[in-house]
């Protein structure tokens, strides 16, 4: 890894930043891949994100998901159809309004949604074991600033 001195050129600092971010992204990918291997899922990242959203919220509808992902209802319907075919979700009609369907996770869907969380937690544990509390606070502050 190139290590620029304080006051070094912007090009050198950019190269350091590219390498550091690349390392962090690779680490995140390895943690997610390890979690995926553990759960043996063949889901896309978007499908896993969808399962995670469904897991977090109760009584979520197709419209809610379309709004959350900024996608059309037909696109969400296609994604839910695929997740349903894989046994991850089921549709339940609303008792109050039969035009409304709620999307619920099956046990398999819950496991897949929570598996993704394990990948993120592995990355967090790695960061926590590598940095001091002050460094973690600084990392949080810097990431929030970039966001």
Enumerate domains of the chain plus CATH numbers.
10-146 (1.10.10.10)
Q: What is the mean pLDDT of residues 86-101?
A: 91
52 neighbors 45 (Cβ within 8 angstroms): no
Residue 2 has pLDDT above 70, yes or no: no
Name the most confidently modeled range: 24-28, 66-70, 94-98.
66-70
Query: The whole model's pTM is what?
Result: 0.61
Give the pLDDT band (50/70/90) at residue 87: very high
Task: Round the average pLDDT of the chain to a whole number and report it.
Answer: 84
Helix 45-56 crosses helix 107-130 at what angle (to 10 degrees)?
Answer: 100
State the Rg of the chain over Cα: 20
Return the percentage of the chain with pLDDT > 90, whole number.
37
19 neighbors 2 (Cβ within 8 angstroms): yes
Give the pLDDT band (50/70/90) at residue 5: low
Looking at residue 42, its pLDDT comes to: 76
- Residue 103, SS3? strand
């Amino acid at each position: 890894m190139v290590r620029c001195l304080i006051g070094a050129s912007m090009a050198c600092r950019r190269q350091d930043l590219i390498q550091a971010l690349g390392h962090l992204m690779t680490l995140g990918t390895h943690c997610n891949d390890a979690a995926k291997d553990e759960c043996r899922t063949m889901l896309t990242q978007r499908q896993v994100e969808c399962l995670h959203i469904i897991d977090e919220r109760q009584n979520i509808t197709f419209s809610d998901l379309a709004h959350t992902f900024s996608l059309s209802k037909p696109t969400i319907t296609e994604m839910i159809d695929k997740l349903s075919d894989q046994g991850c979700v089921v549709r339940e009609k609303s008792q109050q309004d039969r035009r409304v369907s709620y999307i619920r996770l099956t046990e398999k869907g819950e496991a897949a949604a929570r598996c993704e969380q394990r990948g993120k937690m592995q990355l967090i544990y790695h960061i926590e074991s590598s940095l001091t509390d002050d460094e973690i606070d600084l990392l949080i502050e810097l990431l929030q600033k970039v966001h």
